[in-house]
């Protein structure tokens, strides 16, 4: 595995999974029903970390990849907006529990997080290929 992908896996994916893994650990050591095993907010945090990381890494590329950079940054911004709306819905539902269906929001955030993981992997795969090509041409 290329160096950029290893860094992505450790610095982005594992750090992004900290809220989810922490919740699983806490859920495992507490009495049943005290802590929910899966919450939408953990997956929202994971997705936000992935897309912010994408934007940060893409900014360091040369202008040779300008149109690809624009598409990827735009995609990440759209996903960040989706996550923001979902997070706002979760906050509203704390005051008005019947306002949203929490299970649907949870499923949406899990689905979006999986899509975000796929997008982020493809971004870092391309960045790795670009880095390898640049090293070979030097």
- pLDDT, tens only, 12-59: 999 999 999 999 999 999 999 999 999 999 999 999 999 999 999 998
- Per-residue pLDDT averaged across 86-100, rounded? 92
Exposure class string for 49-80: b at 16+ Cβ within 10 A, else e: bbbebbbebbeebeeeeeeebeebeebbeebb
Q: Are 12 and 50 in contact (CB under 8 A)?
A: yes
**Three-state secondary structure along 8-52?**
HHHHHHHHHCHHHHHHHHHHHHCCCCCCCCCCHHHHHHHHHHHHH
| pLDDT higher than 80, residue 63 | no
Separation CA 38–CA 43 (nearest Å):
9
* pLDDT confidence band for 104 (50 / 70 / 90): very high
pTM: 0.91
Separation CA 58–CA 92 (nearest Å):
34
Q: Are 85 and 20 in contact (CB under 8 A)?
A: no
């Amino acid at each position: 595995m290329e160096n950029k992908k290893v860094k992505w896996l450790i610095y982005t994916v594992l750090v992004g999974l900290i809220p989810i893994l922490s919740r699983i650990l806490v859920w495992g050591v507490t009495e049943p029903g005290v802590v929910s095993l899966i919450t939408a907010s953990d997956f929202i945090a994971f997705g936000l970390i992935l897309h912010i990381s994408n934007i940060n890494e893409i900014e360091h590329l040369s202008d040779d990849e300008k149109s690809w950079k624009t598409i990827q940054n735009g995609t990440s911004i759209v996903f960040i907006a989706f996550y923001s709306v979902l997070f706002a819905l979760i906050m509203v539902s704390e005051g008005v529990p019947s306002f949203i269906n929490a299970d649907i929001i949870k499923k949406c955030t899990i689905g979006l997080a999986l899509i975000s993981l796929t997008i982020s992997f493809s971004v870092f795969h391309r960045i790795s290929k670009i880095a390898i090509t640049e090293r070979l041409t030097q």
